[in-house]
Amino acid sequence: MDHFLYRDGVLCAEDVAIDDIAAAVRTPFYLYSTATLERHFRLFDEALEGLPHLVCYAMKAASNQAILKTLAGLGAGMDVVSGGEYARAVAAGVPGNRIVFSGVGKTQAEIRAALVNGIRQFNVESEPEMRAISDVAVSLGVVAPITIRVNPDVDAKTHAKIATGKSENKFGIPIARARDVYAEAAALPGLKVVGIDVHIGSQLTDLAPFELAYTKVAELTEALRADGHEISRLDLGGGLGIPYARSNDAPPLPTDYGALIKRCVGHLGCEVEIEPGRLIAGNAGILVSRVIYLKSGEGRDFLILDAAMNDLIRPAMYEAYHDIVPVMEPPAGVELAAYDIVGPVCESGDTFAKGRMMPPLAEGDLMAFRSAGAYGAVMSSEYNTRPLIPEVLVHGDQYAVIRARPTFDEIINRDTIPAWL
Ligand SMILES: *Cc1c(COP(=O)(O)O)cnc(C)c1O
């Protein structure tokens, strides 16, 4: 559920008409709903009620300071995957003991910064990384809390570019080797083993792969305890999918996911962490764009928008589907026509949809890409020297620009001319 609904013929974000924001901010821009962000966070938090738990928002999905502050205010922890994200979480007021650090290639500088300011745990992804964390901790005279990310060799049945839990993926250590690696971790002077971590992929629309993975984690917990390790925390990752097409079957709900977690690991007496990203931010954001031209091609008509692949790369990168709707509500029963919906960037991959059935549209019309809140703005670039587009946050009947569009001069002035030119 989200808070982007037609009201009196205009698509609104909560209580604000989107055409009003477009007139003030200029298209294209990302638009987020506070109520939707809050609702999604609470769904997860409530789904784990009864278990000691922390919902650590995977902030790589959408990491604007205003979004982080909104979620942190509800008690969210953060899952970060870089030193930059760690700094963003701290800047948004998230205490170190609510930040977990994931990612396959943490550098010594990143490890040091997190240890100096405070960290809930590092989710270790390899043996060399484990040794590096121990070395840095020893050099600082501290002990680093860690989990080890195990790869359970489970098929998440999602797009290949976002599956992470098969043995061929670069993530984690094979679960079959876990006991040896935990033995080495326990022997390193700078580490304190606190638990186990797993994350099998993103946009999962079926609970079965989670159940397989979490059952393996539960078995591993017992085995590691028998080996003498203190396993008090299980980080079960993120990955629950969202409905991208209104017509599709709805993916499982956070409540069902929470019940599954309780069933698989509830008896172990561990504190549980989860790291949802997409489900919190995805349907809490839309991309608003305007039709620049209607172009008739051979056998097909093109709708050329002012948004492009540099603003929203998911269709080009993952063949992702987004519902695209006019901001002005079309009359009921209006006849639809097929369009290829494209951006102005000089790449054939800059195509959002092919043969999409749309109501009649004209140059200047406003369009909204639904479900664009996660992996949207954060993956955007300035390819073709198109400025990063603004982000706007709605809260009831108010809205604020939470990241302004840079000017051309600001973009150009980031470059430096060497002395010999
Ligand atoms: C990307 C990622 C997540 C979030 O995945 P979603 O599909 O957005 O919920 C959680 N944990 C880790 C380690 C990740 O890399």
Residue from 37, 275, 314 to probe ligand 1 pocket by mutation (most atoms less than 8 Å from CB):
275
CA of 202 to the centre of ligand 1 (A): 6
CA of 156 to the centre of ligand 1 (A): 13
pLDDT tens, 74-107? 999 999 999 999 999 999 999 999 999 999 999 9
Atom of ligand 1 nearest to the CA of 281: 8
Q: Taking 90 as the threshold, does the pLDDT of residue 165 lie above it? A: no
Residues with CB under 6 A from ligand 1: 58, 60-61, 79, 81, 102, 199, 202, 237-239, 275-279, 374
Predicted pLDDT at 159: 80
Q: Taking 70 as the threshold, does the pLDDT of residue 312 lie above it? A: yes
Confidence of residue 245 (pLDDT cuts 50, 70, 90): confident
CA of 164 to the centre of ligand 1 (A): 10
Residue from 78, 161, 202 to probe ligand 1 pocket by mutation (most atoms less than 8 Å from CB):
202
Instruction: Write down the catalytic residue from 12, 56, 270, 346.
Output: 346
Q: Is 346 a catalytic residue?
A: yes
**In the CATH scheme, what is the homologous superfamily, with its name and number, of domain 4-31+282-412?**
Lyase, Ornithine Decarboxylase; Chain A, domain 1 (2.40.37.10)
Where would I find the beta strands (DSSP E) of 224-300? 233-235, 271-274, 285-296
Predicted pLDDT at 167: 75
- For 388, counting Cβ atoms within 10 Å of its Cβ (0-12 exposed, 13-18 middle, 19+ buried), the class is middle
Token look-up 């209580």 returns 15
Give the rounded percent of residues in the chain with a pLDDT score beyond 70. Answer: 99
Under DSSP, is residue 315 helix (H, G, I), strand (E, B) or coil?
helix
Predicted pLDDT at 363: 97
Q: Taking 80 as the threshold, does the pLDDT of residue 416 lie above it? A: yes
Predicted pLDDT at 250: 83
Predicted pLDDT at 1: 65
pLDDT tens, 29-62? 999 999 999 999 999 999 999 999 999 999 999 9
pLDDT tens, 34-43? 999 999 999 9
CA of 88 to the centre of ligand 1 (A): 17
Q: Taking 80 as the threshold, does the pLDDT of residue 125 lie above it? A: yes
Q: Taking 90 as the threshold, does the pLDDT of residue 297 lie above it? A: no
295 C-beta neighbours (distance < 10 Å), count? 13
Atom of ligand 1 nearest to the CA of 123: 13
34-279 maps to which CATH number?
3.20.20.10
Map out the domains of the chain as residue ranges: 4-31+282-412, 34-279
Q: What is the mean pLDDT of residues 175-199?
A: 97
Predicted pLDDT at 247: 67
Do 4-31+282-412 and 34-279 show the same overall fold?
no
pLDDT tens, 353-407? 999 999 999 999 999 999 999 999 999 999 999 999 999 999 999 999 999 999 9
For residue 45, the one-letter residue type is D
Predicted pLDDT at 157: 80
Q: Taking 80 as the threshold, does the pLDDT of residue 206 lie above it? A: yes
Residue from 54, 63, 79 to probe ligand 1 pocket by mutation (most atoms less than 8 Å from CB):
79
Q: How far is CA 348 from CA 135, 318, 354, 365, in A?
A: 48, 15, 12, 23
| Cα–Cα distance for residue pair 176/160, rounded to 1 Å | 23
Q: Taking 70 as the threshold, does the pLDDT of residue 248 lie above it? A: no
* 166 against 305, higher pLDDT: 305
Averaged pLDDT score across all residues of the chain: 96
